[in-house]
Amino acid sequence: MDLIVAPDGQLRHIYTDSLDLTVLGQVRISRASRVEPDASSRWLADLSLVNGPELGHFLRRADALAAEVAWLEQNGLPLPANNR
| Domain extent listing, the chain | 3-83
Question: What is the pTM (predicted TM-score) of this model?
Answer: 0.83
Give CA angle at 21 (75, 47), nearest 5°.
30
Phi, psi angles (nearest 5°) of residue 62: -60, -35
pLDDT tens column, 16-67:
888 888 888 888 888 889 999 999 999 999 999 999 999 999 999 999 999 9
- State the DSSP string of 30-57: ----EEEE-TTS-EEEE-GGGT--EEEE
